[in-house]
């Protein structure tokens, strides 16, 4: 899969349906979360998470998951 062009919206919605926002943000990489905040805030939680997921993949090479 080419993640450079991947639409993270479905993944973001799935996470938001399964977990509370506080739990999602608590599990985020602090540096990436702050980067998204500086780029997008104020924005919707969905827009924030979509951007976060893309940057998380770029930084770590794996999908963001909460277990």
Q: What is the mean pLDDT of the chain?
A: 93
More confident call, 3 vs 13: 13
Q: Domain map of the chain by residue range? A: 3-60
CA-CA distance, 12 to 48, in Å (whole number)? 9
State the average pLDDT over residues 23-47.
97
Concatenated DSSP letters of 2-55:
-GGG--THHHHHHHHHHS-HHHHHHTS-HHHHHHHHHHH-S--HHHHHHHHHHH
Residue 37 pLDDT? 97
Cα atoms found within 13 Å of the Cα of residue 27, Cβ hemisphere only: 15
The whole-model pTM stands at 0.91
């Amino acid at each position: 899969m080419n993640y450079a062009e991947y639409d993270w919206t479905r993944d973001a919605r799935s996470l938001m349906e399964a977990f509370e926002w506080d739990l999602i943000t608590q599990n985020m990489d602090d540096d990436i979360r702050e980067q998204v905040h500086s780029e997008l805030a104020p924005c919707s939680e969905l827009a924030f998470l979509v951007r976060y997921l893309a940057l998380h993949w770029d930084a770590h090479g794996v999908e963001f998951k909460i277990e």
